[in-house]
Amino acid sequence: MTAHPRPDAQVHFGVFFQGVNHTTIWSDPASGSQIDFETFRRVAQTAERGLFDAFFLGEGLRLREQDGKILELDIAGRPDAIAQLAALAGVTRHIGLVATQNTTYNEPADLARRLSGLDLISGGRAGWNAVTTDNAWTGENFRRGGYLDHALRYERAGEFLATARAIWDSWRDGAIATSQQSPSWASADAVSPVERSTDHFQVSITPTLPRSAQGHPVIFQAGDSPTGRDFAAANADVIFSRHGTHFDDALAFANDIRARLRAAGRPEDDIKILPGTQIVLAEKESEVEEKVRWVKNGQYTGQTTLSLAGQVWGRDLSHLDPDGPLPKEDPEHRPISETRGAPRHGQDPHAIAREWRARAEAENLSLRETVIATTERSGFAGTPAQVADELARWVRQGAVDGFNISPYLVPTGLDEIVDWLVPELQERGVYRTEYTGTTLRQHLGLREPLTRRS
């Protein structure tokens, strides 16, 4: 695998406050509320103290279910991202504020205006994680119901982004008066109407908001299929990838994105790649393994283990001992439901059961240990010095530009990273010692928005 050496590259950090998940250890005594504003404020301000680029909110449009019932084990209930980030804009000064918003179940005129509002009130710190959805389960929330055909979801997303950018570009530079002695607040030709007619949208609008200091909200994208990667190469500023576990895999992904950028006529460094990751730190090397075990046992409780296994087996397994053997019966002939997320959706339950049994027999594992062992979580574990060395290697060899960190505990899960890991990175000269810009685009070292380049 060909490395892409960048001896002066800096590590970028974001914090990912997930939308729906079982990996945040909500049951620990140190865990705070998952919905109170105080929790979000604490995490955002800790990240800003650690000079992070962005605070990133996930989205959950529907509560997860299992066997037709609401799953009470997963954390849910995230407030509307734009409303939450607008509140955080008032208690932070530098950190970027990224909202996950769906292109399938929103409309461009409305969402572009709300994102523009966040961008303005935060002084140019807004970002948009533009996600697509094609499943009927989520679509049942909405008036038109059903779902968007899989082949059309990126087509709609592309038209959505083009329309949003046209709305953001509708106000010309220098349109607003800079002095109270000016004859009017805005010039007569300050804004141009936007008229667009596409297969997915009919838009006629005179936008109400001028651009922010960064021009457009920064566009994040997370699709990993070939179509998703092409979409990112044509549209995104940042990729939130799943390639954050193995160095060679991350480097292969980065090289593929660089090739797609060149094919799209963009510089190969025009997108920042920030895989999602979890970081577990211990002060001594002898304590690392125990700390990792504590985190995993907190994430995969007995109830969660039986719920995840029950999805594979297609039946209620709550009567079993999670620390006992795997079920003796074979799975029922039922597909794994998409309502619990994507990791095993579409896979053959019988194939998963065979894999689990082989692993459990070979390593003498309990059901819970098998679920943990076969569910690979991206991340790094070690002492602060060890992890700092590894993160620096990934960035300086061109595998990634940084990491979007999911704390396993909130609101205190970033404290060790900010207090222990950030100073180690700074000592190595691979992490900023102060914010040098005021906008999210500046923090990330991005160029002008695509439609604003000469």
Q: Is 94 annotated as a binding residue?
A: no
Give me the residues paired with residue 194 across strands.
Answer: 205
Q: What is the DSSP letter of 428?
A: T
Residues with Cβ within 8 Å of 351's Cβ and at least 6 positions away in sequence, in order, are none
> Which two three-digit tokens encode residue 238?
């940042």
| Cα–Cα distance for residue pair 425/49, rounded to 1 Å | 15
Helices (H) and strands (E) in the chain, counts: 15, 14
CB atoms within 10 A of CB 299: 18
Secondary structure string (H, E, C) spanning 333-344: CCCCCHHHCCCC
List the beta bridge partners of residue 69. Answer: 66
DSSP helix/strand/coil, 56 = strand
Question: Is 150 assigned to a binding site?
Answer: yes
Is there a binding annotation on residue 300? Answer: no
Distances (CA, A) of 158 to 151, 200, 231, 235: 12, 10, 7, 8
Residue type, 79: P
Q: What are phi and psi of 277, to 5 degrees?
A: -155, 165
CA distances from 157 to 166, 215, 286 (A): 14, 20, 48
Determine if the peptide bond prior to 267 is cis (ω within 30°): no
- Answer yes or no: are the C-beta atoms of 342 and 280 closer than 8 Å: no
Query: How many whole angstroms separate alpha carbon 234 and alpha carbon 452?
Result: 15
Instruction: State whether the Cα torsion 205-206-209-212 is positive or negative.
Output: positive
Would you give the DSSP letter of residue 171? B
Which are the contacts of 286, defined by CB distance < 8 A and separation ≥ 6? none
C-alpha distances out from residue 343 to 5, 207, 211, 242, 412, Å: 32, 40, 38, 11, 27
Residue found under tokens 């390639």: 243
- Residue 217's identity, in one-letter code, is P
431 is in an annotated binding site: no
3-class secondary-structure state, position 279: strand
Question: Residues comprising the binding site for FMN?
Answer: 100, 150, 154, 225
Binding residue numbers: 100, 150, 154, 225
